[in-house]
Amino acid sequence: MNSLISNVHFLAALSTACTQRKERKATPPSSQRFAPVSSLEDRLMSKVARIEASASISDYEILLIGFEGHSLGKIREICTLADVKITASFGNSAHLSKAASLKHLFTHIIVNTEAFGSSDDAIREILKVRSELVDIALLIVSPSTLTDDHGSERDMLCDGTFGANLTPGRMKIGLVKSARKVVDREI
């Protein structure tokens, strides 16, 4: 029952954010400079609601891209131990280009860079779709990277990188941090 309530809160917050985004795009920039206090208060309360909704890891909907065989088994085990639900998985990295059309079904996309052949190929392909995925958390698993990185210097590419030897605890931290980055971008 609690997960149903959390889903309802998350969907309501997401709907509010989409409506506010449409309103901001429709409003000329000069009138946005001095927003009424009530509008700012509404935006702040909406942000708080979305942060609360993003805190429930068991409600996350995850799309895995580029995981096959052993790597798929390993990431599934980590997600299970972290109480994270994998909604869908595409082994072929070519499916990354289709992720934008499916983004309304997921809260997070996790991409395995090893599926692209080289780091340069992975970065190139991720950058092609990143602009269409700013309203969803995009995380990268890069076994060649030694540590996790969820800093803002990676925001042009992704919301965070998981390094080698991913654990359930690090998975949870990365998912929550990336969800909060998405919420912050919306405001």
pLDDT along the chain (187 residues), means of 10: 47 54 53 55 64 68 92 92 90 87 90 90 92 91 84 87 90 91 82
- The amino acid sitting at 81 is L
E strands in 91-176:
108-112, 137-141, 160-162
Cβ–Cβ under 8 Å, residues 141 and 113? yes
Q: Considering the domain 58-186, what is its CATH architecture?
A: 3-Layer(aba) Sandwich (3.40)
pLDDT of the residue at 153: 79
pLDDT of the residue at 31: 46
E strands in 32-185:
61-65, 85-90, 108-112, 137-141, 160-162
pLDDT of the residue at 5: 46
pLDDT of the residue at 74: 93
**Tokens 């795009």 -> residue:** 25
pLDDT of the residue at 115: 92
Helix, strand, coil percentages in the chain from 3-state DSSP, rounded to 5 = 60, 15, 25
